[in-house]
Amino acid sequence: MPPPDDDHTGARVREQRRLARLTLRQFADRLPYSYSYLTQVECGARPATADFVAACARALRVDVTVLTGQPYVTELQRDRLAELVRPIREALDLYDLGAHPDLTARPAAVLLAEADRLCEQVRATHLRTAAGALPSAITELTHTAWQTPSTELWRALASTYRTAHDIAVKLGYYDLSAVALDRMAWAAERASDPCLGAVRQYMRALVYFREGEYAIGQRLVASGHGIVGQADETRETLAVTGQLHLGGSVIAARADDVTAVVRHLSEARTIAARIGDASDVHWLSFGPTNVALHRMSAAVEMGRYDTALTQARRIRLSTSVATSRRAHFLLDRARTEMETGHTEAALTHLVQARRAAPEQTRYHPGARETIRGLLHVARRTPDSLTYMASWVGM
């Protein structure tokens, strides 16, 4: 393991670049970033933004996690979260074995409620609780759906697979998240539910977004629109359609396609004005507030930090906003504050994110990079920043 000062994303970029036998100049020529920016990130003088990491991963033909260092195993083991991953992996692997002859499952109504409860726990960022209960829910729903098939049971099983994906992403196990999405497609097909199929395409699009494959992400968003368009227009289909547009907006922002960003946000805003808050639909948090949050996120992804900060200061989140979404906003705002020179405000919002969603914040690579950036520019390191750095394992 590299020494602490070398255990950062820039150092891992440097290591992979050298393994690829590329000089700094050769590698910079393959990136949409300057030679100067690359050298500053590699030596730790600047934090590595998510879009920079994705661009490096594409150029080096490695997974993003190779550069971010995910999953953060030491911290996961310390928090006793790593031990919860293997049972989830095993439960996902038993999907095609049919009903279990020796299993006595809870009643179907209880399992349907459990699937919803797990989604709610992830939105509340109670990752440990959800991860601990998830394998049993998947196992029992798999057994029951095979034994007495129904649309409701296949939907609930698809929902638990979606929860497995969400947990895996938040903890940095992207290989596991891909397996969960495959299982979600399998269950959604048996439920004959186009909305579930479209939600799965939305989540797949975000996977490719993280990996820097923006063209594929945009194709998946378009595929999601095609799938949900096969269903009659309802509040549910409109909410899913709107969320697809929000996903499309941040992917287009990374691709620097301003026209597509404006189009997606406009379509989402129109739908949100029509149906209002629809955060209960597939736990997507869709509604006017989420449109405003994605508008800010799109500005962040395009590097328009002054615009993003202006928008962030106008956003007032109600207590009904999911904790996971609130924490994401706070981390985006912290990054924006840092990039615009408001270091004290950036630290304040990092601390707020930690208080709101400690597990989500601790394992978010963006939080780590923002903390590293603040450490580099600080003339005097506040105790709270030192504590945050130690807390995330830096």
Residues 58 and 79 in one domain: no
> Residue 4's domain spans which residues?
1-69
Each residue's pLDDT, cut to its tens digit, for the chain (394 residues) gives 333 456 789 999 999 999 999 999 999 999 999 999 999 999 988 889 999 999 999 999 999 999 999 999 888 998 889 899 999 999 999 999 999 989 999 999 999 999 999 999 999 999 999 999 999 999 999 999 999 999 999 999 999 999 999 999 999 999 999 999 999 999 999 999 999 999 999 999 999 999 999 999 999 999 999 999 999 999 999 999 999 999 999 999 999 999 999 999 999 999 999 999 999 899 999 999 999 999 999 999 999 999 999 999 999 999 889 999 999 999 999 999 999 999 999 999 999 999 999 999 999 999 999 999 999 887 778 889 999 999 998 8
In this structure, are 146 and 163 located in the same domain? yes
Boundary-marking domain end, from 37, 69, 101 = 69
The CATH code of the domain that includes 13 is 1.10.260.40
Is there a single domain that holds both residue 378 and residue 274? no
The structure's pTM equals 0.91
Evaluate whether residue 198 is within a structural domain: no
Give pLDDT tens digits for 23-51: 999 999 999 999 999 999 999 888 899 99
Query: Are 83 and 118 in a shared domain?
Result: yes
Residue 62 in any domain: the answer is: yes
Q: Is 276 exposed, middle or buried (0-12, 13-18, 19+ CB in 10 A)?
A: exposed
Nearest CA-CA partner of 318 in 344, 287, 358: 287
Do 54 and 80 lie in a common domain? no
- Contacts of residues 131-134 at CB distance under 8 Å and 24 or more positions apart, as own/partner, are 131/81, 131/84, 131/85, 131/88, 131/167, 131/171, 132/84, 134/87, 134/88, 134/91, 134/160, 134/163, 134/164, 134/167
Considering the domain boundaries, does residue 21 fall inside one?
Answer: yes
Q: How far is CA 240 from the centre of its chain?
A: 17
Mark whether 74 and 60 lie in a shared domain.
Answer: no
Q: Are residues 150 and 224 in the same domain?
A: no
Domain boundary among 192, 220, 240: 192
- Indicate left, alpha or beta for 290 from its phi (over 0: left) and psi (-120 to 50: alpha): alpha
Please indicate, yes or no, if residue 52 is contained in any of the structural domains: yes
Please give the tally of structural domains in the chain: 4
Shared domain check, 135 and 79 = yes
Q: Which of 267, 302, 337 is a domain's end point?
A: 302
